[in-house]
Structures are given as structure tokens and as C-alpha cells.
Amino acid sequence: MADLTPEEEAEVYDSPELDDFTPETFDEYLSGKVVLPVGDTMQHGEVICRRRVHNRRPVGLRNANPMLDTREYEVLFPDGTQQSYMANAIAENLYSQVDSEGHTFAVLQEIIGHERDRTAVSSSDLSNGKPCFTTKGWKLLVAWKDGTSSLVPLREMKDSYPLQTDEYAVANSLAKEPAFKWRIPHVLRKRDRIIEKLGKKKYWRRTHKYGIELPKSVAEALDIDRRTGTTFWRDAIDKEMRNVLPAFKFNDDDTIPIGYKHITCHMIFDIKMVGLVRKARFVAGGHLTEPPVESVYSSVVTRESVRIMFLIAVLNDLDILGAGVQNAYINARTT
């Protein structure tokens, strides 16, 4: 990578003017999807904008503690209606509808349909009469408690909702299909025991985290920014690339030096719980190359050592300061 001139560098890292930013630019709740109470039901809605009074000023003030946040938002529901909700109501419902990793869950209401493609195995394909232990090519149309519906692969439904899946197959004359035939007798024989243990199992959706859409690629991240009118994901990508560039050295002609091997790299995206901060991590496919001969072991301090240091600090009336390392680089030579 050739060195940039001061003029080129200023163009690359040019910062927008302060006047270009709006109150929505850094608002973490905007474009979030969350299930909220509407009358006697819970409905899936999208946070579209801040609520404003007659002089166009946004209502409420931000606070680091969600319970003290007085901002109000307009939420759009699938039927086209809009309602206003306080920030703390959105935060309370948002965090109560995710697991410890921030992924949204949905509770099954009923299975309302199915579809199969050409990859699905049919009875005519099994000439020897042996069972075929595959669910490939089958998807079930599922209605969720939050009012949404989606097509879910059969392989996931049979693990999350085995009883409902097989009862649907029997009711819709699918019991003789190879994808169902091998498992239905076993499941139905244990129906009573499964009902006791099943309870309200949840199907975890990995497309959203804390109600925010989670991209799987750079192109998808930039598309989300474009659709929502924000720069959260682009800023996360730019920040990560600035931090990792010191670990790389590029030839001016962009060729791979002799003795080195090309490996692929990609971005991993995540959302932190505190502040709903978007994170991007640039990772390399280390499995595509041989490990270096030099030691790449990174030692980690033991829990006992930390507790001893805390004890020493308390006994000597010392202040304890904590810090986090944003990026770390190994010293071993890599090819």
C-alpha cells in the first residue's frame, strides 16, 4: 500500500461538519425491532424516529441509565399504525426478549404451512426401502407469538419443537415422507414425556441482537446503514481497520512475497449490550496456513494473582485502576 500524500490523507479521513449531524445520527434505538404491548396483545414494531413537539424539538433527554432516560419514540407496527413509547419501555422490552448473548427469541404459536424444493428426498428415490435420515429440502411456515411468521428449516424445527412438528406432519398427510417417516413413531411413542419436559422452548433467531439487525457481511452492513440512514456499521468497520493496519505490511505492487501464502479474511459483526454499540472484528482464516514455528502462546493472568493484588491494594489503602486493551498484536513472525 503506497503512502498517501497529505492532501489524499485529508480526503480519506475528512470529518463531516458538526452541523451535518442530527439528534438521530447517534441514536442507538432507531431502526431497532422490538415486541411491545399494544392493548391486550404484544406486537412486533420498529422504532422509526424520536417523538417531537410542535416546535420540532425532540421530547426528553438521554441518560446512561435506561430507567432515567426520558426520550420518547415513535414505533411503527405492521398494520401501519404508530404509537409513542418511552425509551425505558423500549429498553425494558428489548432486553427481556433476548438471551445472554443478545439474540432475539420467538415462541411458537402454530405451524401453518410447509414447502419443499428439489433437493428433498421422495419415497420413489428410496428403491431399497431403507430409511433415509435426512430433512434436506423441507421448510415449515411458522407463526410466532409476536405476530410474525417465517420459513424455518425442518432440521431446526425438529430439534426445537419435535412434537408440534410431527403432529403437523401427521395432520397434513406427510407421515410417509422420508423426512418425517423415520422419526414420527419414535416421537409420538414418547409424547407424554416430551410434553412434560418441553414447556415453552424457544427458537433463537440469529438475524437480530438486542432488536438491532445483525449483518453477516460488509455489503450487508453497509446496506443496513443505507436503509436506516445511519453510519453505525460503517464507523465500526473504519475504526477496526484503522486499529488493525499496524499489524500489516503491504508491498507497493500488492504482490504476495515469496515464501508467504495467501489466506482469506473477513469481518465479524456484533453488538455490545451497553449502549448498543456496533462492533466489527477483522479476522483471518488461520486454518488455511501452517502455524508458525515460533511460539505464539499468549499467557493470561490467573484469577488467584488478581485476587492477591486486590488484597494488597486493600491492605495498603491503594486505589485500583482498570483499563482494557483495544487491540493486541502477536510478535511471532507469520507468513
Cα–Cα distance between 154 and 160 in angstroms, integer?
Answer: 10
Per domain, the residue ranges of the chain are 23-100, 103-206, 218-315
End-to-end CA distance of the chain: 18
Q: Is residue 191 a contact partner of residue 86, using CB atoms and an 8 Å limit?
A: no
Residue 136: per-residue pLDDT: 84
Residue 161: per-residue pLDDT: 85
Residue 219: per-residue pLDDT: 93
- In SS3 terms, 277-333 reads as CEEEEEEECHHHCCCCCCCCCCCCCCHHHHHHHHHHHHHCCCCCCCCCCCCCCCCCC
Task: Please list the residues that pair with 269 across neighbouring strands.
Answer: 280
Q: Is residue 85 a contact partner of residue 93, using CB atoms and an 8 Å limit?
A: no
Residue 18: per-residue pLDDT: 47
Q: Is residue 33 a contact partner of residue 48, using CB atoms and an 8 Å limit?
A: no
Residue 67: per-residue pLDDT: 75
pTM above 0.75, yes or no: no
Q: Is residue 233 a contact partner of residue 221, using CB atoms and an 8 Å limit?
A: yes
Task: Please list the residues that pair with 75 across neighbouring strands.
Answer: 47, 83
Residue 218: per-residue pLDDT: 93
Q: Give the three-class secondary structure for 98.
A: strand
Residue 310: per-residue pLDDT: 92
Residue 201: per-residue pLDDT: 57
Mean pLDDT by groups of 10 residues along the chain of 335 residues: 57 52 67 83 85 84 80 89 88 79 78 88 66 80 81 86 86 84 77 61 70 90 92 93 82 79 88 89 81 67 90 92 77 67
Overall CATH class of domain 23-100: mainly beta
User: Chain centroid to CA 27: how far?
Assistant: 19
